[in-house]
Amino acid sequence: MNPYIYKRIIRSIVVFFIILIINFILPRAMPGNPASILANQYNLPAATVEILIKEWKLDAPLYEQFIAYIKSLFTGQWGYSYQYYPRTVYEIVMERLPWTLLLQGTTTVTVGLTGILLGILAGWRRGKISDTLITLSAVIVYAIPYYWLALLLQYFLGYKLRLFPISQALTPGAVYNSWFDYVVDVLRHLALPVLAVTLTAYASYTLITRNTMIDLLGEDFVFVSRAMGLPENKIMRMVARNAMLPPITMLTIRVGYIIGGAVITETIFSYPGLGYLIYQSIIYKDYPVLNAAFFMLSVTIILANLAADFIYMFLDPRIRYGERR
């Protein structure tokens, strides 16, 4: 096996088990427990709280809870949600996962396309008005806090102008006469979150692609191509193809944050995905849901970073041969 691949796999396995331990400790390090939180919310009697503590094994030693936690993760038996008891964690996660995949998958495409295309255009037309406008707008947008921009879009486009719904993924109580009506409703609810994420995330891809384009335009192969009389549009495509390596790597890593990156977005827009579920589970100290969600988050991040390493290795032979030396 290539030493480059071997090292990355070993590193990923070590990181995975470290994350498992942290995943177990963090929720339990916070004050209080799920039973007491539910008791305060619903005014449960003390006897009921004691039953819940025994039912959920919150009085068991930490090492027993840890063993049960490991078994549940690797057997797929994630237990029952404390907040939505007696519904299973698997049922709740699978119910929320499609909405997160829809939101994050859409934003990954819009962010990648917008950032890379604008970066290629700015780099190719460096020093001109279009380059200045694109770069200046990217720097300004990059400095804007995401949550602030999301709230502004909610207020102006959702509340004032009534162009899009400001929360949820579907209109509550809506009756759809056809699948087309259903799709339109889903897209209208998706518009504001996607717009907010795209406006705040595309800038980094634009700036990196632009800088890579400018560096490549100074390489010898560009001068040779022009000396050979190749058309400018063909040279631009050749340079752009090479300049896409850093942003594509960033997009690969972004896929790893498809769950964790949705927390703020889904919380602001009350979008019923895994991100909003994580936020609710933190409030209610829903350990089984948190453990399952963080487990999925850890796996996706590790796999995405591993995939990025492999992609970089195949796209850039210098890394392969450098590792062998």
Q: Is the pLDDT of residue 319 over 60?
A: no
First-last CA distance in the chain: 15
- Dihedral angle of Cα 63, 64, 65, 70, to the nearest 10 degrees: 90
pLDDT of residue 317: 60
Q: How far apart are CA 235 and CA 240, in angstroms?
A: 8
- Percent above pLDDT 90 for the chain: 28
**Beta bridge pairs of residue 88:** 80
Question: What value does the mean pLDDT of the chain take?
Answer: 83
Task: State mean pLDDT over 222-243.
Answer: 87
Cis bond upstream, residue 172 (ω within 30): no
Mean pLDDT of 251-274: 80
pLDDT tens sequence across 138-149: 999 888 888 899
Q: Is 71 helix (H, G, I), strand (E, B) or coil?
A: helix
Which tokens is 52 given? 């819940």
Evaluate if pTM is beyond 0.85. no
Instruction: Report the pLDDT averaged over residues 236-248.
Output: 85
> In which residue are the tokens 């634009």 written?
206
Give the three-state DSSP class for 88. strand
The CA–CA distances, whole Å, from 192 to 40, 41, 157, 255 equal 35, 32, 8, 20
Which residues are CB-contacts of 151 (< 8 A; sequence separation ≥ 6)? 268
Domain residue extents for the chain: 97-284
Superfamily of domain 97-284: MetI-like (1.10.3720.10)
Phi and psi angles of residue 45, each rounded to the nearest 5 degrees, phi first: -70, 160
For the chain, give the percent of residues with pLDDT over 70. 90
